[in-house]
């Protein structure tokens, strides 16, 4: 019994430190590799990941949710948190996301986004522009392409980019998703120009993804380790593999 208790104490010490990270849904596809690499480098620290839309995670943080770090899909939400004095450090950009137009079926993408106006496209999945930065970018891109008003009746809205990917796969003819989604096992077999195209960067404002260290985590050495890791070359290489642009 004595040795068993000692074993339990030793086991608990391995995960003595934990970091609660709120993560925008678009980072989900890279997060497994980021978590794996971080915990390999720092085996005594465990990451607790909560996924959701940036807007909903921000609302939770503003209402006292006990997160240590927030990885948003844009800079606006972390800035709002900083303005509310929930962080002593200004948010930083850790990566830049990009937008693609994706279809499970092969499409004639030679028409560009004009394809969306054809009768074959009856439902278009987009993330909710009010809560998801990739949805906001989609709306902006379609407005600049002079397509938004005519296409609105076709939209199927996802609460987050992850839900939008699900709708694109199962409930819509085509959808606007984060390029990082294409690197998931589920979508990696689909081909550029046949199943997806990049949305021109000039059509939407840069999706600068922001990280903010929350006050409840500022005194924790483990939290600082993860914060520094996300700005390290090791993390950047992983993010780049998942289609993010590094600044």
The mean pLDDT value of the chain amounts to: 92
What's the rounded Cα separation, in Å, for the pair 102 and 84? 37
For the chain, list the domains and their CATH numbers.
2-96+207-241 (3.40.190.10), 98-203 (3.40.190.10)
Read off the tokens for 86.
Answer: 């929930």
**What is the average pLDDT across 159-176?**
95
* 106-131 pLDDT, tens digit each: 999 999 999 999 999 999 999 999 98
- Show the DSSP H helices in 21-106 as ranges: 28-41, 54-62, 76-83
* 188-205 pLDDT, tens digit each: 999 999 999 999 999 999
User: What is the pTM (predicted TM-score) of this model?
Assistant: 0.82
Task: Yes or no: say if 133 and 73 are a contact pair by the CB < 8 Å rule.
Answer: yes
Task: Yes or no: say if 126 and 156 are a contact pair by the CB < 8 Å rule.
Answer: yes
Please, which residues have CB within 8 angstroms of residue 214's CB and are 6 or more apart in sequence? 61, 67, 68, 69, 70, 81, 86, 87
CA-based nearest residue to 165, from 151, 147, 180, 153: 180
What's the rounded Cα separation, in Å, for the pair 243 and 236? 11
CA-based nearest residue to 156, from 134, 174, 132: 174
Task: Yes or no: say if 53 and 70 are a contact pair by the CB < 8 Å rule.
Answer: no
Does residue 231 carry a pLDDT above 90?
A: yes
């Amino acid at each position: 019994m004595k040795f068993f208790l000692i074993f339990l104490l030793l086991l608990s010490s391995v995960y003595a430190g934990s970091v609660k990270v709120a993560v925008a849904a678009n980072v989900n596809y890279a997060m497994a590799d980021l978590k794996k690499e971080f915990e390999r480098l720092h085996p005594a620290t465990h990451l607790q990941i909560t996924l959701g839309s940036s807007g909903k995670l921000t609302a939770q943080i503003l209402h006292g949710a006990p997160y240590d770090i927030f990885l948003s899909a844009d800079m606006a939400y972390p800035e709002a948190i900083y303005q509310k004095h929930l962080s002593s450090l200004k948010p930083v950009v850790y990566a830049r996301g990009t937008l693609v137009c994706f279809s499970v079926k092969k499409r004639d993408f030679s028409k560009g986004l004009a394809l969306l106006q054809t009768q074959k496209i009856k439902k278009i999945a987009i993330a909710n522009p009010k809560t998801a930065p990739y949805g906001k970018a989609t709306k902006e891109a379609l407005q600049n392409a002079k397509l938004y008003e005519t296409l609105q009746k076709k939209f199927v809205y996802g609460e987050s980019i992850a839900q939008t990917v699900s709708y694109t796969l199962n409930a819509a003819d085509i959808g606007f998703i984060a390029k990082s989604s294409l690197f998931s096992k589920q979508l990696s077999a689909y081909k550029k120009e046949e199943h997806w195209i990049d949305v021109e960067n000039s059509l939407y404002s840069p999706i600068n993804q922001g990280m903010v260290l929350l006050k409840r985590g500022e005194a924790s050495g483990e939290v600082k380790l993860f914060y520094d890791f996300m700005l390290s070359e090791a993390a950047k290489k992983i993010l780049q593999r998942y289609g993010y642009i590094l600044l």
